[in-house]
Amino acid sequence: MNQELRAIKRVNDWIEQGHPPESEFSNTTIHRIEMGEAYHCSTKVDRRPSFIRELMELGERRAVEFRERR
């Protein structure tokens, strides 16, 4: 995902510089919802239902906060 976000930023930068033309490409705005928690890289393979539930609940709370700020 981070590679795709960097690619979008790169294209946005090119558009701002006039390459490629805006008539063919449009600037894309990306909004990120920060989770506010730091997890060890080992959690990428953690498939315990309790951990998945924890992530989902945290994501739902952060999404509500994100929407309220808009």
- Residue 68 — pLDDT band, cuts 50, 70, 90? very high
d(CA 63, CA 50): 20
**pTM recorded for the entire structure:** 0.64
CA atoms within 13 A on the CB side of 39: 14
pLDDT score of 21: 76
Per-residue pLDDT tens over the stretch 1-53: 889 999 999 999 998 888 887 788 888 999 988 888 899 999 999 999 999 99
Q: Compute CA 41 distance to the chain's CA centroid, rounded to the nearest angstrom.
A: 17
Please say if the pLDDT value at position 69 is more than 80. Answer: yes
Please say if the pLDDT value at position 67 is more than 90. Answer: yes
